[in-house]
Structure 1
Amino acid sequence: MKFDTWSAFWAMGGYGFYVWLSFGFTLVAMLGIVVTTIRTKKSLLRAVTQKQARAQRRKAAQKLENTL
């Protein structure tokens, strides 16, 4: 579809409101997915790090207990 002017492009033949609204909703949804994914990744990495640290502390405590 060819538009003669920028205002015709933004108007989209009278359907501009719906077209740009759908683009806006899609953009917001995609940004929400990215933010949620980043937060989940950070949370999972933090949990794994805590679990590994706990396992190391338990192993050290068990080794100390065995030497006593």
Structure 2
Amino acid sequence: MKEFLAQGGYAFFVWGAYGMAALLLIVEVVVLARRRRTILTRIGRLVRMRGAKTP
């Protein structure tokens, strides 16, 4: 197990790459969730504005 974790002397680079990939995936999910919420808010606002204009 120790050899596996050491990755032949390249553990810092290997695990660093895995960590960076995981971090970027998490950031991507958060950004997409925020963007979705913003778009839905804008659509709701637009629907309310158009509904108020029609008598």
TM-score, normalized by length of structure 2? 0.93
Q: Deviations over 1:3-47 (max 9, x none)?
A: xxx111100011111100011111111111111001000100010
Q: Give the 3-state SS of the residue equivalent to 2:12 in structure 1.
A: helix
Q: Give the 3-state SS of the residue equivalent to 1:28 in structure 2.
A: helix
Aligned to 2:4: 9
Give 5+ residue unaligned stretches, structure 1. Answer: 1-5, 64-68
Equivalent residues in 2 for 1:1-68, closer than 5 Å? 6-59=1-54, 63=55
Amino acid of the residue matched to residue 42 of structure 1?
Answer: R
Amino acid of the residue matched to residue 43 of structure 1?
Answer: T
Distance (whole Å) between structure 1 residues aligned to residue 5 and residue 21 of structure 2: 17
The size of the alignment, in residue pairs, is 55
**RMSD, matched Cα:** 0.7
Larger radius of gyration: 1
TM-score, normalized by length of structure 1? 0.77
